[in-house]
Chain A
Amino acid sequence: MEITREVWWNVPGWLALALYLGSALTVGFAVRVALGHVRRWLRGRPLTAARPLAPGRALRRVAVEVFAHRRIFEDPAAGWAHLLIFYGFLALFTGTLMVFVHDRLVPFLFGPTYLVFSLTLDLAGLAFLVGVGWALVRRFAGGPGRLPRSAEALWVLLLLGAIGASGFLLEGARIAATRPPFEVWSVVGWTIARGVIALDLPAAPLHRFLWGLHAALSCAFFALLMVTFLRHMATAPLQLLLRELRRVGALAPAPPDGGARPLAPESLSRVQLLEASACVRCGRCSAVCPATAAGKALDPRGVIRKTLRAMLEARPLDTLVTPEEAWACTTCAACVRACPFEIEVLDKLVDLRRRWVEQGAIDPGAARALEAILERGNPWGAPPGERMAWAEGLPVRVLAPGDEVEVLYWVGCAGAFDPSGRRVTRSVAQLLQRGGVEFGVLGLAESCTGDPARRMGEEGLFQEAAARVVAALGRVRFRRLLTHCAHCFHAFRNEYPALGARCETVHHTQLLAELVRAGRLQPGPALGATVTLHDPCYLARHNGESRAARTLLAGQPGLELVEMPRSRERTFCCGAGGGGNWIELRQGERIATLRMAEARATGASVVATACPFCTIMLEGETAGQGMVVRDVAELLLEGQPA
């Protein structure tokens, strides 16, 4: 007996024909649905790339995410389950293709090759079934609550399981009927065959039935491929590839008619629509969303689902997503960071806000902040003439047009007007003086960067405010631009280059860390305290800077730095971003309350921050808690020798 397998053994012609016909029909259906998605994507606005596509980097990124499951493994249990399914499926699918090649093109599955092939596929099938079973258990019997217990997920997983199981059973029946001794290498099939023989089942008819079942189930898989979350097999790699064209959280300018008309799918960009097709509803976004955690209306996964619905039903997105959802977002991008495909939620919410801003139907607090930016150049509506009040008694150089300076210190509105912000500004200025840094400020020529306006969806105001700032920056010469506000930092670093203002922007934690490293400042403070560091989203997550602040705090005698569970780029928002500082949402808890509870649980008595908005938000939660909130600059100043 030759060591191989007769591919069409016991399969009558009509059944083979049915398989080919069924496959052609269902694959055709999947292709048709896929083309429908592509057509709908192409109806969107062309993507304005924030950075050029570097093919090498992009492909490497796709490879790491797809084949190494980097993001998926951030939840290790999910990572293993998906890995088993992924590689099991890949092996089985490749195996089927190899059988096709062997049958129709080049016969090669003979002898040892066949035995290795059989063993590999049996093991792959086993892995596949274990993975599917694990996924079923995680979804429907325990597992994280974020996973949807939907009928769709149940049927898809059962189908995958049934395809695997029927494959093994038919293999067993075939071995039981033909009894080739070498098939002991098909370990699972061999075991099943022994069962079939022991039970004295009619092996050949059973095999024929199972073969038909397996073929039908496989066709069902093709049919469901593009109409269920299985779609991500095609869309996710594409999404990961195109992700490289955008910076997380750096918003694209609104189209000229942005907000003037309902947000129909055509008003979204092509990548935004692709993202909607790629989502698998794993819910990692909603699990990390501060607004969701605080019991507000927002559920990031729901927003992406609604975007898909808007695309498929050609309905405006603003008829599906409510204002309460869109305004609850703090644009902290925790969802983007958590998503295995980095699907962006906040850009869609900002597009919706743009729509409502144009209609004038926005929260009164947001409206007041926007009008204040327009009329007074700062979102608090503080008298612009008091912009330098923070510097009272400090020798701070206010630059005149044409002046040149090493470091231009951009104070920002919070630093100029908010009482706790002024504390930070004074500390930074004093530290710069001690460190011998030549710096100057723009004084009354400074005005809002427009960042809150852009995130509240008032693109026209952002453009106007930014033009004012670009003009003010152009009147002086400087080498580096220093900000202590993470939001100003983000705007200058990621959004101003598109407006023609390119300069080296440095955050105060970075500059102060430089001064400490150069020995120009004492690494403070020498206070006996347990400190925890709250990373600002716009610093740590949007801009990947979480080391400098730790350099300033760590390794000090008497200072113990303890980390919160959510820190660095996985930090949890304070609630101030995206206009949250000015919008009073009455629904749910305050996000800052949750964050302070997390800080308190570390046992720290001091919460260090590196953004005035975080300071404002978290300080509002300290009443009666025996904790203080301090910017790292304040702590560093306290540690300087008198």
Chain B
Amino acid sequence: MKALVLLREVLDATLPLEPGDGQGPRVKGQEAIRVLNPADRAALEWACRLRQGEITALTVGPPEVEGILRLALARGASRAIRAWVGGMEGSDAPALARLLALAVDRLGPDLVLTGDRSLEGGTGLVPGLLAARLGWPHLDGATHLGRDGGRIVVRRRLERGWREEVEATPPVVVAVEAGSIEPRYVSVRVRREALARPLEVWGAAHLGVDVAAVKGWVRSEVASLDWPRPRPRRVTLPDARLTAGERMRRLMTAGPTPLRTGEGRLLEGGPREIAERLVRFLEERGLL
């Protein structure tokens, strides 16, 4: 059995982001960190867990994305391919699926594994479009993969917390959820060794297309990016001078706990007196 794992490099979106100049979000105050898309990382880990014969890792992109292929080799891929055709920059999901389908035709895997969505694009369309082009079953939202003889057994997450287990005869496309498997740690030594291993680069000629045609596939592109409206109110962090236990308590309990030491005030007295002071407090601040 041969497995093909489709990978994508994304901006590490867990860092604080700010609007960039037209091209997309930018990491605040530092250089961006680009990482392997978490769902794809889970897909790769499942491929290794299944102990397939050959695991090929493939990504579409310019030379800068080769880092994730090195990581895939370190994590257990036996072969790594970077496919790239000029003109794919800013490609939409259908164009990407079309290119991937060509690669799948060349490689002839029994199982295509990928993340169910990327942190950047987030359409979640590519696995489905790819399966449709190939005419293969498409099992998305996969949270567990196994094998039963020649068949692939996939546990899928459905709406409202339902789960289903699907058995499929290869070839199939499986889209894996991020976090469905804890990836093994890969040491720096193993990562370094992966640097010495060969990477294949597939261009238009390898895929049997010409560049002009590929340009024509891309029919939509991002024109501009709007930053989300700022949140009306920030979640206030508890005072750093408090103890860890106290900070936890304040984050987890609702109620009139002072947010900063000395900031809150507790009113005492009869109901009428308190009400009057509240009204006065609000009036002083022009809120009434």
Per-residue interface assignment for chain A, residues 344 to 384, with 1 indicating a CB less than 8 Å from any chain B CB and 0 otherwise: 00000000000001101110101100110011100001011
Q: A460: which B residues are within 8 A, CB to CB?
A: 187-189, 191-192
Q: A364: which B residues are within 8 A, CB to CB?
A: 182
Q: A464: which B residues are within 8 A, CB to CB?
A: 188
Q: How far, in whole Å, are A463 and B245 apart by their CA atoms in the complex?
A: 35
Size bin of chain A's contact surface: 35 or more
Q: A545: which B residues are within 8 A, CB to CB?
A: none
Residue among A374, A419, A619, A621 with the highest chain B CB neighbour number at 10 A: A419
B185 touches A623 (CB 8 A): no
Q: A459: which B residues are within 8 A, CB to CB?
A: 189
State whether the Cβ of B247 lies closer than 8 Å to any Cβ in chain A. yes
Q: Given the interface contacts A366-B185, A383-B16, A385-B15, does A619 sit within 8 Å of B29 by beta carbon?
A: no
Q: Return the contact of B190 from the options A358, A616, A623 (Cβ within 8 A).
A: A358
Closest-CB distance, A326 to chain B (whole angstroms): 15
Name which of B83-91, B97-105, B213-221, B236-244 contacts chain A: B236-244
In the complex, the number of residue pairs spanning A and B with C-beta atoms less than 8 Å apart equals 81
A370 touches B185 (CB 8 A): yes
Q: Return the contact of B188 from the options A360, A374, A620 (Cβ within 8 A).
A: A374
Q: Which residue of A lies closest to B15 (CB)?
A: A383
Q: Given the interface contacts A385-B27, A623-B249, does A420 sit within 8 Å of B189 by beta carbon?
A: no
B243 touches A357 (CB 8 A): no
Per-residue interface assignment for chain A, residues 606 to 635, with 1 indicating a CB less than 8 Å from any chain B CB and 0 otherwise: 000000000010011111100011000000
Q: How far, in whole Å, are A358 and B186 apart by their CA atoms in the complex?
A: 7
State whether the Cβ of A423 lies closer than 8 Å to any Cβ in chain B. yes
Residues of A560-599 whose CB lies within 8 A of B: none
Q: A366: which B residues are within 8 A, CB to CB?
A: 185
B28 touches A358 (CB 8 A): no
Closest-CB distance, B90 to chain A (whole angstroms): 26
Q: How far, in whole Å, are A628 and B12 apart by their CA atoms in the complex?
A: 37
Q: B244: which A residues are within 8 A, CB to CB?
A: 419-420, 616, 619-620
B245 touches A620 (CB 8 A): yes
Q: Given the interface contacts A376-B33, A385-B16, does A623 sit within 8 Å of B246 by beta carbon?
A: yes
Q: Given the interface contacts A458-B187, A460-B189, A460-B192, does A419 sit within 8 Å of B247 by beta carbon?
A: yes
Q: Which residue of B lies closest to A457 (CB)?
A: B187
Q: Return the contact of B189 from the options A358, A361, A374, A422 (Cβ within 8 A).
A: A358
B187 touches A385 (CB 8 A): no
Q: How far, in whole Å, are A624 and B188 apart by their CA atoms in the complex?
A: 43
Closest-CB distance, A427 to chain B (whole angstroms): 11
Q: How far, in whole Å, are A624 and B243 apart by their CA atoms in the complex?
A: 11
State whether the Cβ of B224 lies closer than 8 Å to any Cβ in chain A. no
Closest-CB distance, A623 to chain B (whole angstroms): 3
Q: A524: which B residues are within 8 A, CB to CB?
A: none
State whether the Cβ of A98 lies closer than 8 Å to any Cβ in chain B. no
B188 touches A622 (CB 8 A): no
State whether the Cβ of B234 lies closer than 8 Å to any Cβ in chain A. no
State whether the Cβ of B35 lies closer than 8 Å to any Cβ in chain A. yes
State whether the Cβ of A116 lies closer than 8 Å to any Cβ in chain B. no
Q: Return the contact of A619 from the options B35, B186, B245 (Cβ within 8 A).
A: B245
State whether the Cβ of A167 lies closer than 8 Å to any Cβ in chain B. no
Q: How far, in whole Å, are A420 and B183 apart by their CA atoms in the complex?
A: 31
State whether the Cβ of B253 lies closer than 8 Å to any Cβ in chain A. no
State whether the Cβ of B30 lies closer than 8 Å to any Cβ in chain A. yes
Interface of B is mostly: loop
Q: Given the interface contacts A619-B245, A622-B245, A623-B249, does A419 sit within 8 Å of B188 by beta carbon?
A: no
Residues of B2-41 whose CB lies within 8 A of A: 12, 14-16, 27-30, 33, 35
State whether the Cβ of B229 lies closer than 8 Å to any Cβ in chain A. no
B249 touches A422 (CB 8 A): no
Q: How far, in whole Å, are A620 and B246 apart by their CA atoms in the complex?
A: 9
Q: A383: which B residues are within 8 A, CB to CB?
A: 15-16, 27-28, 30
Q: How far, in whole Å, are A375 and B68 apart by their CA atoms in the complex?
A: 13
Q: Given the interface contacts A385-B27, A620-B245, A623-B246, does A357 sit within 8 Å of B35 by beta carbon?
A: no
Q: A463: which B residues are within 8 A, CB to CB?
A: 188
State whether the Cβ of A259 lies closer than 8 Å to any Cβ in chain B. yes
Residues of B190-205 whose CB lies within 8 A of A: 190-192
B35 touches A375 (CB 8 A): yes
A375 touches B33 (CB 8 A): yes
Q: A357: which B residues are within 8 A, CB to CB?
A: 185, 187
B185 touches A367 (CB 8 A): yes
Q: How far, in whole Å, are A320 and B241 apart by their CA atoms in the complex?
A: 46
Q: How far, in whole Å, are A244 and B138 apart by their CA atoms in the complex?
A: 65
Closest-CB distance, B112 to chain A (whole angstroms): 24
Q: How far, in whole Å, are A629 and B242 apart by their CA atoms in the complex?
A: 10
Q: B30: which A residues are within 8 A, CB to CB?
A: 383-385, 444
State whether the Cβ of A126 lies closer than 8 Å to any Cβ in chain B. no
Q: How far, in whole Å, are A259 and B185 apart by their CA atoms in the complex?
A: 13
B245 touches A360 (CB 8 A): no
State whether the Cβ of A123 lies closer than 8 Å to any Cβ in chain B. no
Q: Given the interface contacts A259-B189, A358-B190, does A420 sit within 8 Å of B245 by beta carbon?
A: no
Q: How far, in whole Å, are A461 and B188 apart by their CA atoms in the complex?
A: 6
State whether the Cβ of B184 lies closer than 8 Å to any Cβ in chain A. yes
State whether the Cβ of A260 lies closer than 8 Å to any Cβ in chain B. yes
Per-residue interface assignment for chain A, residues 412 to 449, with 1 indicating a CB less than 8 Å from any chain B CB and 0 otherwise: 00000001101100000000000000000000100000
Q: Which residue of A lies closest to B238 (CB)?
A: A419
Q: A619: which B residues are within 8 A, CB to CB?
A: 243-245
Q: List 12 A-B contacts (CB under 8 A).
A: A358-B187, A358-B189, A360-B186, A375-B12, A385-B27, A385-B30, A419-B247, A619-B243, A620-B243, A622-B243, A623-B243, A623-B246
20 more contacts with CB within 8 A, not counting A357-B185, A383-B15, A463-B188, are A360-B186, A362-B185, A367-B183, A375-B33, A375-B35, A376-B33, A381-B14, A383-B27, A385-B30, A419-B247, A420-B243, A420-B244, A444-B30, A459-B189, A460-B191, A460-B192, A461-B188, A464-B188, A619-B245, A620-B244
Across chains A and B, which 10 residue pairs bring their CB atoms closest together, nearest first?
A360-B184, A460-B188, A623-B245, A385-B30, A385-B29, A367-B185, A419-B240, A460-B189, A461-B188, A619-B243
